């Protein structure tokens, strides 16, 4: 094990897989000489060459289409978007081509679409969105959101190995987070949640950066005598509902914390699914703690109030009685 940042873990994972498999290529804006917007691919073009680390024009639909076609032809492309918001420019290529090719023709499409997502760094409404719910709705796509450096590397390696198109969202606030990461390559299966903290009184499901805030809230709740179990889904599609339901059957209460707006969100899906599968175990309504139904604000004071706070999570748990 070595201590690595979340950003370094992703860079390590890409480098490991490119050394292992000559079919892994990278595409994106300014990822070669410049090393990417966040320097994740710094030094890659010197090691792997311009044929495998490809600087693209500013045309998301173009290079996403090229990557999807390359995947069908046997390569394993990893596409970097400078910000996850820009995925919208390639929505048709991802949703109507990459996601459906296997269903239409029976051909694998092993491509990973990486996108830095989330707010908290004063990027405004065009650089701070959490677009994961757009893609969890689409059959044929897998959606990953790691919350730790260890998971970032292991889930990325599994995503590259997977034969399906994978949306891999990296929260910008987590890039500086540090944690132990094995130096060797390893893979974490998609669709398996992790219980980050055991508890008996309430289940808190946190998504991406909200896992950390859920754990902070659990500490405060414990000091007041409430035992909270914190679950990190890690992948949103496929979603490990079995782990969440098993926890709710034990605790009898559920709070879901999601940085995206509430309408048709991942939090909404989890709340609905648990209400269907574990209604008889619930002692009260499922509570969602989310951002408001509004664009991410640019003003620091408003952005600070936009994402769910530790206090809001504690209040949500206490509202259940």
Q: Work out whether the CA dihedral 248, 254, 260, 266 comes out positive or negative.
A: positive
Residue with tokens 């309408």: 263
Cβ neighbours of residue 232 closer than 8 Å, sequence gap 6 or more: 147, 151, 193, 194, 195, 196, 205, 206, 211
**Is 127 noted as a catalytic residue in this protein?**
yes
Q: Do 171 and 200 touch, CB atoms closer than 8 A?
A: no
**Burial of 257 by CB count in 10 Å (0-12 exposed, 13-18 middle, 19+ buried)?**
buried
Strand order in the sheet with 254-258: 194-197, 228-232, 202-206, 254-258, 287-290
Distance of CA 111 to the CA centre of its chain: 16
Which one from 102, 127, 137, 263 is the annotated catalytic residue?
127
Instruction: Report which of 26, 208, 58, 57 is spatially closest to residue 129, judged by C-alpha positions.
Output: 208
Distance of CA 11 to the CA centre of its chain: 16
Catalytic residue numbers? 127
């Amino acid at each position: 094990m070595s201590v690595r940042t979340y950003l370094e873990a992703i860079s390590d994972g890409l480098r490991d897989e490119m050394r292992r498999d000559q079919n892994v290529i990278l595409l994106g804006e300014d990822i070669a000489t410049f090393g990417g917007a966040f320097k994740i691919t710094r030094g890659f073009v010197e090691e792997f060459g311009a044929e495998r680390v490809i600087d693209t024009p500013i045309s998301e639909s173009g290079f996403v289409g090229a990557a999807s076609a390359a995947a069908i032809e046997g390569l394993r492309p990893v596409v970097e978007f400078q910000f996850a918001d820009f995925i919208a420019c390639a929505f048709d290529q991802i949703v109507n081509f990459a996601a459906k090719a296997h269903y239409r023709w029976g051909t694998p499409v092993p491509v990973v679409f990486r996108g830095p997502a989330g707010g908290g760094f004063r990027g405004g409404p065009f650089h701070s969105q959490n677009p994961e719910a757009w893609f969890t709705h689409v059959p044929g796509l897998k959606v990953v959101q790691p919350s730790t450096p260890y998971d970032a590397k292991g889930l990325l390696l599994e995503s590259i190995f997977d034969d399906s198109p994978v949306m891999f969202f990296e929260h910008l606030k987590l890039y500086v987070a540090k944690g132990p990461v094995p130096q060797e390559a390893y893979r974490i299966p998609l669709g398996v949640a992790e219980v980050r903290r055991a508890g008996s009184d309430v289940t808190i499901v946190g998504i991406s950066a909200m896992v950390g805030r859920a754990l902070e809230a659990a500490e405060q709740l414990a000091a007041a005598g409430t035992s909270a179990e914190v679950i990190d889904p890690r992948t949103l599609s496929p979603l490990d509902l079995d782990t969440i339901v098993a926890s709710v059957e034990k605790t009898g209460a559920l709070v879901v914390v999601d940085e995206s707006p509430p309408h048709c969100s991942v939090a909404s899906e989890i709340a609905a699914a648990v209400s269907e599968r574990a209604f008889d175990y619930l002692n009260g309504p499922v509570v969602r703690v989310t951002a408001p139904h509004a664009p991410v604000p640019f003003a620091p004071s408003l952005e600070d109030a936009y994402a769910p706070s530790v206090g809001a999570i504690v209040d949500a748990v206490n509202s259940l009685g």
